[in-house]
Structure formats: C-alpha cells, structure tokens
Chains A and B, each alone.
Chain A
C-alpha cells in the first residue's frame, strides 16, 4: 500500500516537473495557420483558411481572399430568400453581389452566410462576414455602442398596421382608430414595442397578442383571432399580395409609418476604405439609375460617356483606383447586377412593392433615394 502511494507521489512530481519545464517554452506567437485548421480538424467544417492582414483594411483582405462573405437573413421574403436549389435571391442578396462585382469584378464571388438576428453583429465582429445585408435597421445604439457602421440606406421601411376593410378601416385610418382592437405581432421584436408606444401616444387601448413566427401571426389574423396585425410595411404588402383570402379585403394604414426603419449595408466600425467601397457601390447604382443606364445598355453608355457617367465608368480620372477598386468597378456592378431600379423592381415588384410614390422613389420624384455626386 505504502509503495503504491509513493509511486503515485513520484508520478505526480514527475508530471509537475515536466509540465513546469515545458510550460516555459510555450510560444504565444505560434503560427495561427498551423493551429487553426487542426483545431477545426476534429470535426472540421469548411476549411476556413485564416487570413490575417495586419492592420490592413478589410478591402485588402477581401481582395486577397477572392470572395466576399456577405451576411444575409436567408429567409426574408423578397429581401434574401433561399431558393429550392440553395441559391440566394432578393434585394439584399443583389446588393451583396453588387459589392462583389465592384471589389472583385465578379458578382458571383459571394459566399452568403445566413445569420439569425441574434448572431448577426457577432459575425461581423469575429470577421465571419465582411458586410451585413440583413435588413438591419440603422439605430443610434447599433451605430455607437454595438460597434457597427452603416452605409447608405437602400430601403426605407417603416412599421404599419393591417386590418380588414369589413371592420371599418380604410387607408386613411390612424392609430387612434384602433381603440379596443386585438393586435397580433411577433414577440420580442421592436415591432411590439413600437405599436405599444404609438397606441399609448394616440390614446388608444389595445390588446397585444404575441406569436413566435410571422406565419402564426397571419394564420391567426386570417382566422379572425385578431383585428389588426402590425409589422414593417414591406412585409405587410407582401402578405397582402400573397395571402389575402378571396372573402376578405385587407387594408394597410397609416400612410405615414409609425416607426422609421432605414435598412442598408452594415459593417464593422472604423474601416474607412472598406466603408467607402461598399457605400460607393450603392451610390453608383443610384446615380446610374438617375441617368437611366441599365445593365442592358451600360456597355454602350460607357463607351461614349462623358462627365459623371464617364467618371463612374472609369473612363477618366482615378476616382475608383484612388479608393483601391479597379477602374471599371462600377461599370461591372451595373453590367452584372443592374442599377438601383432594376434591383428593386426585380425583387420587390413581385410582392407588390413599387418605387413610385413611396419613400424609396428617387429624390427627383419626391422620394428619399439620393446619392452624392461622383466627381
């Protein structure tokens, strides 16, 4: 018994000594590239090649990597849908493609990363995605304390309400008219908070019913379980087009939304070179739309272009090369993806959303879509 104990003690001493001795030559600067794939090796996922560009802009990293990691929702109707064959479509997806076309010259070089609402900002911070096109509302806290920067708004959304005409509602109804109504919405979202605040301000008493998924909200609404449903206007229009039963007529109100939801590209803060590349991709698409230049005629337009269009096409000056992009970056964007109107109409018209008369019309038509001049 005693010898066993001694042997055990000796073993522990040896362990201690060897551990101490080899602890000293531990090397914190162990090349990450050898350790990283092997860590994942145990059950490896995609072979995540680790690129560390010390102190460089994300722009250099993306160009070195050759693909753009773009964070999308993957399940937002008309914004980013995953199709039956796994491809991603939608207005958000098209803006991802546009950035890839500008930075890499190939709209197909996008790796779409589907993110839930809770993990989207972490994914940007850990570098899993380069840019977030995930219908993310630009807010003060996200811009400051969350550590994000926001690009130009690509879609001006706002929360609205939807009710049945048979209940006496019309397009000119106001929030004050919903007094005593049962309102269905998704739980734990800002929509819930917004409607409660708006009703309080308007002096209307409402009963809120929360549901986990949007589909449940509309099932209940169709079945008559609630008088009113509320969420972002874009989603309401889509639902109305697709799900309104033959025996009901739905109406969306008030004309001025009860909340502002500006949606646009989001990226990590304090990286100007990368921010410029993303922002000017969007601006170029808006400017080209103002000139009416589409993917079909951009080649001809660029061949004989003067002034602003010529500068965006890369014909004269170093506007693009100066910001680290190829000279024909925006030419490629329009050629491969299209201008703002094309992208908008392609994705949002099928769900009943049109630019005319909405906040998303161009500034010349009374909307809010505006781009600074390219010069």
Chain B
C-alpha cells in the first residue's frame, strides 16, 4: 500500500505543483512566493550587470542558431520529399506490402501494453488550467520567433504570426480565466491524446510522400503523390482509438483486480512481447504440424512430467544434500550434451532444468510454494519450447535482402534484445565479480576488463566479418544474430560495472541483518541486496540504456540497413534523391532524440517514484 501512496504523491509533485491535499504524515513543502513574469525575468535574468550581459549574449547566440536551423530546413534546395517518400523504407525497409498488417498488429500490441501500463501504474499528472496557459504561452512565443526568423514569404510569415497570436490569445485567456477555478485541472494524458489526435488528423488533411515505385517494366514511374499519408491514415486512427480504449479498460480493471498480480502479469507480457512479436507475428513461421506433434510436443511433455517429479522431490525439505548432487549431475549432463549430436531444444531444456533444480532448495517450503515453483517451471518450459519451435521454422515472409526487417525496426530490435539479454547477464557478472568465490570473481573480472578494453566497433566487425569464417562448414550465424551477440557481450560488461557500483553502496549491516533473520544467500541477494543496489544504480543504468540505443547506429558501419544507414547511404543512392544526406540525417537524429529523451524522462519518473536522492 505504501507504494501506491508514494506513487500518488510523486505523480502530483511530478507536475511541479504543490500537492493539494497532503497526507497527514507529510510535512507541507515550503511555499515559494509567486512572481509575475516581469518580476521573474528581473530576478533571474537581469539581476546584475554581468547577468544582463550574459542574458543578451546567450539570447543572441540562441536566436542565431535557431535562425540558421530554420534557414537550413526551409531552404528550397532541401529535398524533404526524400524523407517523406522514404518513411516506410526508414521504418521497415523492404517488409512486403501485403503483409503490412503484421506491423500494425505489433504496433497495436505495444500500444495496448503501454496504455494498460499507464493505467495500472497511474501514469500522467494533473496540470492546473493556469499551468496549461503558461505552457501555451511558451509555445506561442516560440511560434512568433519561428514566424519571424524562418525565411518565409511575407504572406507565409503573416499566416504563421496569425497562428501564433491565436495561440497566445488563447493562452492568456486560460491564464486569466483560471483565477476563478483554482481547483480545475487537466490531465497530461488528455493533452497527450489531444496532441496525438492532431497529428493523426493531419494525415487526413495533408497528403505527403509518394512511396511506391512501380518496379516491373519502367522502374522510374512514381505512383500517386501522397501515398504515405493515404496508406497510414486509417491504421493510425485505429491505433489511437485502440490505445484510448485500452487505457480506459486498464483503468476499469485497476480497481477490480489485485494490484500486485496485475503488475506482474503486465511485466511478464512486456518481456514476452519482443520475441513473440518478432518471431511469431513479423516472421509468420510456417509450422510443420507433423514435426510439432511428433517431436516438439513429446519433448515438452517429457520435460514437463520429468521436471515436475524431480522438482517436487527437490523442493521437499527432507531431500537434503543428495538433491544438490543430482542437480549438479544434471547440469553437467546439460553441458556434456553439447558434445554429442542431439536436438538443441533437448540441451537447452536440460540446462534450464538444471538451473531450476539447483535453485530448488531456496524455494522449498510448504506445499503451496512447491506447487508454485513447479508451475513456474512448466510455464517457462512452455514459453521456451514455443519460441524455439517458432524460431526454427522457416518464415513465410520473403523480402529482397538479408533480414526480414530493417530501418527503425532493426534499430529497436537490436536495442531491445541487447538490453533484455544483457541485463540479467550484467547483474550476474556484477554479483560474480563481488562474490567471495575466486573462480567466479576471476572469470568475471577478466571478462569485464577484456571486453571493456576493446572498442565496440572492433567487436562488431569481428562478429560480422570474421566469425562467419571461423564457423565450421554448414553452420551459419546470421548477421543480425552475430551483431546482437557482440552487443550483448559489450553491454553486459559495462552494465556489470554500473551494478557493481550499486552493490558496493550496500552497507555490511544490511547483509548481517539478513543473515541474522536466517536468510539463505540467494534470498539475501534477491530480496535485500539487489533491490537496493539496483535502485541506487538507476541513473547510470538508464544512461547505459540510452547509450545502447544510440550505439546501434554503429550497425551502419558494418552495412546492416539500420535507420542511419538508410538515411545516410541508401536514400542518397536513389536517382530521385541524390545528394539528400543532410535532410535525412537531420530527420534520423530527430528520431533518435525523441526516443532517448523519452527514456530519460522515464528514468526521472522512476527516480522520483523510488525516492532516489530524497531518502
């Protein structure tokens, strides 16, 4: 319950507004005197001669930069049509048109999960009307600057000035009228939906981008202008509706379902979403049902039944030392299975079972705990078998080119998979490096120091160009898979050091206290040390996430068609849009910025929620 309370409080403070009704236990924050705009300007920008000079110089420099940027963007020489036309190429590369509904399904699933999470975790905050007015005032001022500085014709300048004045007038109206209604607030989510609706509505009004070439006979005849807008306006409208509906469903469910179970389900769904969407939806595997029935299902059944029996025996408190020996033998057998020919799924399942068996004594307890443990084994086994079967069946989506997606999709895919895989790996490395067992400590230290000593680009070139030469004949490692392995190695080494920083901030007393109440070392690590260590490492971890996301642009160097490669090399390589590198790169950097900025905002919220820097 405390989590709920603090989240409520932090969500109100997030907007910068003093909480209206403070809980009794909290001390009211100090009241800052309210200043008018002119008083604020005088106080902060022109308080001393030096400050005056600084303000003037900075303003002039900023305006010059702004003007230069606008002059660049609105120069008639710029081929912005190259960006508009190639939006689809930048997002998904050559994904076939007739299969495009799959992309929309993925977008919808992600939007539904986002909306549900927003509802369940009480995202968004309330803004008072006067605050909205103030924000609009800023927007209006920027619009005025925009109208005056951009190299427009007089008529266009006047039109933009008019728009700016309307916005300013509305903002002033809101500010003035808000005096009477102090308690009135607007949710930031409402504003978000309004903004998105505006964007989607613009698709219906402004047709842009003529994406579809007629490839067969005469490849240089362009299709109708406006195809990008025409082909996306209906799906995007649908997506918006889906997101809003999902949000309200989530809100309705929030009060009826147990909070913890709902949150855990959502987190599991989030973790399952990337592989499931990528391998089951985007790839559309063609299942060989005969093979599934004769091979995959029996293997699953054998491991489910055998594992259940084994784990229920192991979680019995009376099993004792014999259990550990059996688990160790299974682990060894799992490793040895790599030396003999057999199906990969058998080996992976055996290794997973060994890990479950080794951890079993920690989870032993009453019959309820036992049942839960066995159920989680069967659940994991099911998901794993399902994914492995799906991955090993051929795709029905055929595209010209190596991988079935490209552009922004591959940037996101590499970033997400790298982070999801390297997080547990990095934490394990950090624990190993701080462990008292010399083998683990040495191996982890060597690995981390070795990987950190090599530039990322070297690792990527090694994995993309040299590893294929080393593999035995007949074995094949796809370029994207190779790249992800390289990224994971690199990222986990850095992540381990970030987590280790957090681990070292946990005082000895915490561990001793855990020992005193009789926790096993696994429990101590899982429930006492790691949660505190991870909370401390949030800022560096988020910095790392942003870094990994941006470093995916190095894919461009080894020739994977990520969004930067497409913008920098491929689009300027089209006869139609020769010499349009600058426009494309500016657009691509805008996209990178949007994502990175959202991540950093999310980390700020997370820090506030966990009370980092306050407690």
Contacts and interface: CB of A to CB of B under 8 A. Distances in A.
Given A36-B474, A75-B569, A82-B570, A27 B340 contact: yes
B575 A45 contact: no
Interface residues of B, number: 77
A339 to B, nearest CB: 15
A82 B89 contact: yes
A201 interface: no
A113 B93 CA distance: 13
A89 B213 contact: yes
A156 interface: no
B297 interface: no
A26 B392 contact: no
A15 B579 contact: no
A116 B558 contact: yes
Interface of B: 85-86, 88-89, 92-95, 97, 210-213, 215, 218-220, 279, 328-329, 332-333, 335-336, 339-345, 388, 391-395, 399-404, 406, 417, 464-465, 468-469, 472-481, 484-485, 558-559, 561, 566, 568-570, 572-575, 578-582
Given A38-B345, A125-B469, A215-B572, A26 B339 contact: yes
Given A26-B340, A83-B574, A43 B561 contact: no
B401 A83 contact: no
A41 B474 contact: no
Given A82-B574, A86-B95, A113-B401, 6 more contacts: A39-B475, A40-B478, A86-B406, A87-B94, A126-B468, A219-B582
A56 to B, nearest CB: 14
Interface stretch (A46-54, A166-174, A285-293): A46-54
A30 B391 contact: no
Contact of B402 (A114, A126, A219): A114
B88 A84 contact: yes
A46 B404 contact: yes
A114 to B, nearest CB: 6
B281 to A, nearest CB: 15
Given A19-B336, A43-B480, A84 B394 contact: no
Nearest to B342: A34
Contacts of A77: 573-575, 578
Interface in A233-248: 238-239, 242-243
A218 interface: yes
Contacts of A23: 339
A48 B401 contact: no
17 contacts: A22-B340, A30-B340, A30-B341, A34-B342, A35-B344, A36-B475, A44-B279, A82-B94, A82-B574, A83-B215, A83-B574, A84-B88, A85-B94, A85-B211, A86-B93, A87-B213, A122-B465
Contact of A84 (B85, B328, B344, B401): B85
A41 B400 contact: no
Contacts of B88: 84-86
B279 to A, nearest CB: 7
Contacts of B481: 40, 42-45
Contacts of A45: 402-403, 478-481
B392 A44 contact: yes
A128 interface: yes
A125 B471 CA distance: 12
Contact of B392 (A47, A89, A238, A239): A47
Interface in A131-151: none
A88 B400 contact: yes
A112 interface: yes
B340 A111 contact: no
Give the 4 A-B CB pairs with smallest separation, nearest first: A86-B94, A45-B478, A38-B344, A32-B474
A263 interface: no
Contacts of A55: none
Given A34-B341, A84-B212, A88-B400, A78 B575 contact: yes
Contact of B579 (A18, A112, A114, A242): A242
How big is the A interface, by class? 35 or more
A215 B400 contact: no
Nearest to B286: A47
Contact of B401 (A86, A118, A213, A216): A86
Given A77-B578, A84-B86, A85-B213, A44 B478 contact: yes
A216 B341 contact: no
Given A15-B332, A30-B341, A41-B391, A219 B579 contact: yes
- With a 10 A CB-CB cut-off, give which of A31, A115, A126 has the most chain B CB atoms: A126
A214 B573 CA distance: 10
Contact of B477 (A30, A40, A243): A40
A49 B464 CA distance: 19
Nearest to A243: B579
Contact of A39 (B400, B402, B477, B573): B477
B40 to A, nearest CB: 44
Nearest to B475: A36
Contacts of B220: 350
A18 B88 CA distance: 55
A65 B427 CA distance: 44
A30 to B, nearest CB: 4
B470 to A, nearest CB: 10
B395 A215 contact: no
A283 B341 CA distance: 47
Contacts of A350: 220, 575
A26 B336 CA distance: 9
A76 interface: yes
A115 B559 contact: yes
A82 B476 CA distance: 26
A74 interface: yes
B236 to A, nearest CB: 19
Given A86-B401, A87-B215, A112-B401, A52 B473 contact: yes
